Amino acid sequence: MTHFGVVAIVIGLMLFIAHASSDTFASLRQAGAELSPAVRSTIFLAVLVGFASKAGAVPLHAWLPRAHPEAPSQVSALMSAAMVNLGVYGIVRVGFDLLGGGPRWWWLLVLVVGAVSAVYGILQAAMTSDLKRLLGYSTTENLGLVLIGVGAAGVFASAGAHVLAGLALTAALLHVINHAAFKTLLFLSAGSVLHATGLRDLDGLGGLRARMPVTTGLFAVGALAASALPLGNAFVSEWLLLQSLVHGLPVSGVATAITMPAAVAVVALTAGLAVATFVKAFGIGFLARPRSSAAERATESPVSMRVGMGLAALACVALAVVPAMVMPGLARAAGAADSMLGEPAVRGAVTLRLAGFAGSLSPLLVTAALLVGVAAVVAGLRLATVRRTRHGRLTHRARPTRRDARLWDCGAGPLTARMEYTATSFAEPLQRVFDDVLEPEQDVDVTHLQESRYLVDSIEYRRRVPDRIERRLYQPLLAFARAWGQAGRQLATGSVHRYLGYGFYAVAGLLVVLAVTR
């Protein structure tokens, strides 16, 4: 698939270079301004197809969730943190810089591709129980969000709203950075889990909190970021993205009036599903009790792995608390993409303020207030308990404030790990809600005892949520390619006479064509 993407990029750029005097950025930029609209659009579309497949956008995402589970975790981290970002870089560079913006429909197309990728990616992530596959699909989702930002920036720029375009592009680029940070962390922790248990399947994990506390804590940092909640870094970039979309409504045209609310809804749905997905990944994977003996025997991974994860976590926390530190860089990047967007879109160190719009957020203060609040509540509760015993109201028995108790099992025997909710059961309600989109496959096999139909020997239940796009788009494509291969084999029999004959016919045909056209 990526080869297909490379071919598309090469075709697009060749076409571009053919119209320019040389292949330097400067001459391309110059040529870009003089191209006819049809050629420009062709170039853009070819490049978009190519870079979108690099970025893992739907429908060219199929390689992502397949490659990630198989690749070693460091490589997955690198793929998610660097390679997919290249796709975004390519689109921004070619679209804004070299081709100098373009008609609105380009960017609406980018926006739609981003929206579809975001929702589709997170839906698949919410369904899967393979930890690394989940993270792979989440990459598609996050890149989708970035493309929404890029597309919105393009739409705004083409309408002349440069401040807003700068804001949207800043949001997109910030999300690229944030995503790189937290996805690295998540893949490294998934690698640490894999190292310790040999498992990627969430249905078999659980109970790692007690066995691998460091990995658990760090994964929690990453999961918090990935679900775009306050205290996580992605919250800031999604907040900026929402701001740019909200302020984009009055920008002109019915197209934006329809797109912006839809885009906000998509971002919101994506955020909601991402929360559910990462609650599943963290809650089922790390909390509660182990669901397999492999998870039960897990031990914390070596220091080298923990250091790697720690660094990535540090980056996440820094980005979450003082996102202002990367803002100048982002403004410069946006300016490099389009000189009109060079104005910093976000100001302020502690409290981020939008330039040109009323809107502010202070991640640092929110984080601090929340932490102080939690500490205050814990302390307050302790105080309340101390006073309780001192007043001696509970005179008839001296009682410890906290007592261990068995889990409430409704009075029946102890709860086994098999009675816990699994990742699959956790996702079941969502799967039922999105039944029409996901088209899950399930079958139930009931084996009866020989003596009677009424006695059941065993029940087998299977459920799979296939990647529908993959199935609908790629399988026909592959079948087509295979059919061509078969046909080709008929032609290539290995007979030298035949090959010479082909050569003769080809030359003869060529001559005929030349004779007719000249």
Partner 1 sequence: MGVARGLLRRIRATGRIAEPAPAAAPEGLPEGVGDLAGSVQVRHVDAGSCNGCEIEIGQAFGPVYDAERYGARLVASPRHADALLVTGPVTRNMAEPLRRTYEAVPGPKRVVAVGDCARNCGVFAGAYGVVGAVGDVVPVDVEVPGCPPPPDAIVAALRGLTGR
Partner 2 sequence: MTGVTGALGAVLQVAVIAVGSPYLVGAMRQVRARLEGRAGPDVAQPWRDLRKLLRKESLTPHGTSEVFRLTPAVLVASTVLVAAVAPFLTTASPLDPVADLFAVVALLTLGTVALALAGIDTGTAFGGMGASREMTITALVEPTLLVAIFALSVPVGSTNLGAIVNSTLHDPARVVSPVSLLAAVALAVAIIAETGRLPVDNPSTHLELTMVHEAMVLEYAGPDLALVEWASAMRLTVFLGLLANLFAPWGIATGSGLAGLVLAVIVFAVKVGLLGLLLAVGEVFLAKLRLFRVPELLAGSFLLALLAVAASFFLA
Binders of partner 2 among residues 215 to 254 (CB under 8 A) are 227-231, 235, 239, 242-243, 245-247, 249-250
Binders of partner 2 among residues 57 to 116 (CB under 8 A) are none
Q: Which of 18, 33, 378, 446 binds partner 2 (CB under 8 A)?
A: 378
Nearest to 148 by CA among 104, 109, 114, 108: 114
104-127 helix and 253-279 helix, angle to the nearest 10 degrees: 20
Q: Which of 22, 70, 304, 358 binds partner 2 (CB under 8 A)?
A: 358
Nearer residue to partner 1 within complex by CB, 391 or 464: 391
In this structure, are residues 71 and 20 in contact, taking their beta carbons and an 8 Å threshold?
no
In this structure, are residues 28 and 16 in contact, taking their beta carbons and an 8 Å threshold?
yes
Cα–Cα distance, 36 to 186 (Å, whole number) = 45
Binders of partner 2 among residues 267 to 296 (CB under 8 A) are 267-269, 271-273, 275-276, 279-280, 282-284, 287-289
Nearest to 130 by CA among 311, 284, 25: 284
Q: 478 exposed, middle or buried (CB, 10 Å; 0-12, 13-18, 19+)?
A: exposed
233-247 helix and 303-321 helix, angle to the nearest 10 degrees: 30
Cα–Cα distance, 363 to 236 (Å, whole number) = 7
Nearer residue to partner 1 within complex by CB, 407 or 491: 407
Backbone angles phi, psi at 144, to 5 degrees: -60, -45
**Lateral strand order in the sheet of 346-347:** 346-347, 352-354, 360-361
Cis peptide before 59 (omega within 30 of 0): yes
Which of the listed partners (partner 1, partner 2, none) does 421 bind, with a CB threshold of 5 to 8 Å by partner kind?
A: partner 2
Q: Which of 296, 300, 428, 470 binds partner 2 (CB under 8 A)?
A: 428
Check binding of 485 to partner 1 (CB under 8 A).
Answer: no
Helix (H) or strand (E) holding 417: none
Q: Which of 33, 257, 394, 433 binds partner 1 (CB under 8 A)?
A: 394
Binders of partner 2 among residues 153 to 212 (CB under 8 A) are 206-207, 209-210
Q: Which of 3, 390, 391, 393 binds partner 1 (CB under 8 A)?
A: 393
Nearer residue to partner 1 within complex by CB, 414 or 485: 414
Which of the listed partners (partner 2, partner 1, none) does 287 bind, with a CB threshold of 5 to 8 Å by partner kind?
A: partner 2
Cα–Cα distance, 156 to 241 (Å, whole number) = 13
Cα–Cα distance, 185 to 312 (Å, whole number) = 5
Q: Least distance from C-beta 400 to partner 1, angstroms?
A: 10
Check binding of 394 to partner 2 (CB under 8 A).
Answer: yes
Check binding of 392 to partner 1 (CB under 8 A).
Answer: no
Q: Which of 3, 396, 462, 489 binds partner 1 (CB under 8 A)?
A: 396
**456 SS3 class:** strand
Q: Least distance from C-beta 443 to partner 2, angstroms?
A: 21
Check binding of 412 to partner 1 (CB under 8 A).
Answer: yes
Check binding of 405 to partner 2 (CB under 8 A).
Answer: yes
Nearer residue to partner 1 within complex by CB, 391 or 489: 391
Q: Which of 38, 254, 384, 405 binds partner 1 (CB under 8 A)?
A: 405
In this structure, are residues 165 and 157 in contact, taking their beta carbons and an 8 Å threshold?
yes
Check binding of 408 to partner 1 (CB under 8 A).
Answer: yes
Nearer residue to partner 1 within complex by CB, 3 or 399: 399
Check binding of 398 to partner 2 (CB under 8 A).
Answer: no
Cα–Cα distance, 408 to 301 (Å, whole number) = 33
In this structure, are residues 137 and 56 in contact, taking their beta carbons and an 8 Å threshold?
no
Which of the listed partners (partner 1, partner 2, none) does 411 bind, with a CB threshold of 5 to 8 Å by partner kind?
A: partner 1
Cα–Cα distance, 294 to 431 (Å, whole number) = 28
Binding site for partner 1 (CB under 8 A): 393-397, 399, 403, 405-406, 408-412
